Amino acid sequence: MRVAIDSGGTFTDCVFLRDGRLEVLKLFSTPADPGQAVLNAARQAAGPEQIELRHGTTVGTNAMLERKGARVALVTTAGFEDVIAIGRQARASLYDWFDTPPPCVVEQPLRFGIDERVTAEGAILRTPTEAQLAALREAIAASGAESIALSLLFSFANPANERLIAEALAPLGLPISVSHRILPEFREYERTATVVVNAYLAPKVGSYLNALEAALPEGGVSVMQSSGGIVPASLAAREPVRTVLSGPAGGVIGAWHIARQAGIPRIIGFDMGGTSTDVALISDAGPTTTSESIVSGLPVAVPMLNIHTVGAGGGSLARFDAGGILRVGPESAGSVPGPICYGRGSLPTVTDANLVLGRLDPDLFLGGAVRLDEPRTRELMGAARGSLGSVERFASGILTLSETAMEKAIRVISIESGYDPREFPLVSFGGAGPLHACSLARALRIPRVLVPCMPGALSALGILIADVVRDYSRTVMLPPSSDLLATHYAELETQGEQELLAEGLQGTSVRSADVRYVGQGYELNVPAGETMLEEFHRAHERRYGYANRELPVEVVNLRVRLTAKSDAIELPRRAARPGNGVQAKIKTRPIWFEGEWRESIVYDRDRLHPGDVFSGPALITEYSSTTVLPPRCVATVDELGNLLIEVNQ
């Protein structure tokens, strides 16, 4: 049985197919041992059947955010040992005189230079001697390093020296990350940082995935990449840098799948979980990727889905700062101790605010499997409200601040990239997403919201249906008319096809290129082919507001993506019939809307029929999430069971 599991900060979500029907299971995460919740969920889902596990993991992400990775030895060309610490001129707070950068993940005593040199054209000027290699090996052995990152100048043009050094260091028995394999592209700082991140994560992620494979030897384990495709756990263990947005990538793929089946070509995905919120814009061409991500202050230049993350989730903590100003997040209560209403926490969170405002029903959380402690929550929220007066005002302030952070995130991926968010329906998912979707849509004047079936586990669904994907790249610095482009593309495709064949798979390739005007510092990725130049000019105009078709253009990097399709999963359709959802009505309850309590209908989503149409104020409950339908909003159930909500101002 194929089982997909997404590990979050609060819940571990599991989706699996049984007798042709998708089923969902949610368990509390086990932060001290993430694999425990994963294995518990897999075994509960599959029972005695053989398990083929597909996994979205946060082990690498958390190791980066908490700076709890391995002790890395960095080997570079002599004279370039401190590139990883110097970085670029850009700073997160450019005008902050007292800005303190985070400590470098590679301590100064662990940076080693070796006397070698390759030219920008790939000619070898100097090769390390046997004596130099032996001295390097001894120095690293004595340093206490747990992992090795190897990034030499211009190794993307000729990796011979990197291969030689890697072979010499192999007897140490440490994981070795080499730049010509991880990222064969120019820009030594970004390439070095990416390889360092890979080495920093390799021991922790590798041991975690190896333990999962040992526990599930029959069906195998695959891992979701940040780029939106599946790879074997063995490859993910060697290249964990490709998994730092593993779970959120599953959400983007799941949202795109749902939207296509619903006939919606372009969307904004809004995934709010317990710890953070992830947003992504999906255009007519599908999800976009980027090679310019920043993870915990370090550039990570491998392809990732273009996802913007903010520290606003259901577990985000609310507090007053030294000046008496209310703040929300990015700190989170997680699953331990969790929000107040879970019975263990003592500090107010976004989830607690939703509960005291009536937006969560304490008896229907997780289908009634967990009862929320409303009296205790109201008592502790009242004690923490400060000068805000009522508990309702305090809770409303918490929601306003968290929604403002999420609104800004959506503006970043839409308006700042040249897109009008009003042209993209908001697809809301994650355990907390549907609670806030309509409020966000109103703030951004987005007219439609789609809440898919099982929204609280959509990331796991995306992992279940994701294709097997391999990404390859090469720096070339050629004019668009060069005949060498075809040769380079063919070599990349051959490499990918051979690696897929080794796994018994065949894939189709998609070519793209990073293109810029000659003299520019950064590129835009566009599809390769006869229209590449025009595609670049259009992309440049959309991003920067102008295009100059008279300027010379150069192709900087070539990219090839090979995709082996997974088995298709079609969501069941049911014929629509006119209705008002009366059969799904459970009860009425007061909910705080627009500064007052309003009597609202509570619906059981599992009992709604396609064709049902009803208006807010209302609450729509289900196992994996709860949807808030504010006044003047109208919900329609489509043939797939999605909630299509018209958001009126």
d(CA 373, CA 144): 49
Q: In this model, does residue 284 exceed pLDDT 90?
A: no
* DSSP state letters, 168-183: HHGGG---EEEHHHH-
Evaluated on CA atoms 178, 183, 187, 189, the torsion sign reads negative
The span from the CA of 203 to the CA of 247, in Å, is 20
Q: Which of 389, 404, 436 is nearest to 627 (CA)?
A: 436
Q: How much is the pLDDT for 334?
A: 76
Q: Where exactly are the structural domains of the chain?
A: 51-244, 468-564, 582-646
pLDDT at 361: 93
Residue 229 has pLDDT above 90, yes or no: yes
pLDDT tens digit string along 339-398?
A: 999 988 889 999 999 999 999 999 998 888 889 999 999 999 988 888 788 999 999 999
Predicted confidence (pLDDT) per residue in 469-499, tens digit: 999 999 999 999 999 999 999 999 999 999 9
Partners of 317 in the β-ladder: 349
Helices (H), 226-339: 233-238, 246-261
Q: What is the mean pLDDT of residues 47-74?
A: 88
Q: Which residue has tokens 């082996």?
A: 564
Average pLDDT over residues 577-603: 94
Least confident of 33-47, 322-336, 401-415, 622-636: 322-336
177-228 confidence digits (pLDDT tens): 999 999 999 999 999 999 999 999 999 999 999 999 998 888 789 999 999 9
The predicted structure's pLDDT at residue 114: 97
- CATH for 468-564 is 3.30.1490
pLDDT at residue 411, rounded to an integer: 95
Q: Report the alpha-carbon distance of residue 319 to residue 195 in Å, rounded.
A: 38
Structure tokens of 319?
């507090």
Q: Residue 247's pLDDT is what?
A: 85
597 forms beta bridges with 592
pLDDT digits (tens, 9 = 90+) for 568-589: 788 888 888 999 999 999 999 9
The structure tokens listed for 407 are 């609104």
Count of other CB atoms within 10 angstroms of residue 218:
8
Relative orientation angle of helices 130-143 and 160-169, to the nearest 10 degrees: 50
Pairing label, strands 293-295, 298-300: antiparallel
* Higher-pLDDT residue of 29, 554: 554
Structure tokens at 596: 């007052």
Q: What Å distances lie between residue 30 and 186, 188, 424, 599, CA to CA? A: 40, 38, 36, 38
Residues in the chain: 649
d(CA 208, CA 70): 13
Instruction: Name which of 231, 237, 249 is nearest 290 in CA terms.
Output: 249
**What percent of the chain shows pLDDT beyond 90?**
71
pLDDT at 21: 82
- CA angle centred on 561, ends 558 and 564, rounded to 5°: 160
pLDDT at position 133, please?
Answer: 98
Q: How many CB atoms lie within 10 A of CB 126?
A: 13
pLDDT at 520: 93
235 falls in which pLDDT band (50, 70, 90)? very high
- Comparing 439 with 335, the larger pLDDT belongs to 439
Tokens of 390: 């009522």
Residues 61-101 pLDDT 10s = 888 877 889 999 999 999 999 999 998 877 777 788 887 77
* DSSP single-letter state for residue 501: H
Beta strand residue intervals within 49-178, DSSP E: 52-56, 72-77, 111-114, 117-118, 124-126, 147-151, 176-178
Amino acid, res. 457: A
Provide the 8-state DSSP code for 360: S
* DSSP 8-state code for residue 605: G
Q: Name the nearest CA neighbour of 603 among 430, 434, 449.
A: 434
Query: What is the enclosing helix (H) or strand (E) of 238?
Result: helix 233-238
Q: What is the pLDDT of residue 1?
A: 84
pLDDT tens, position by position, 6-41: 988 778 999 998 877 888 998 988 888 889 999 999
Q: What is the pLDDT of residue 58?
A: 85
d(CA 518, CA 512): 18
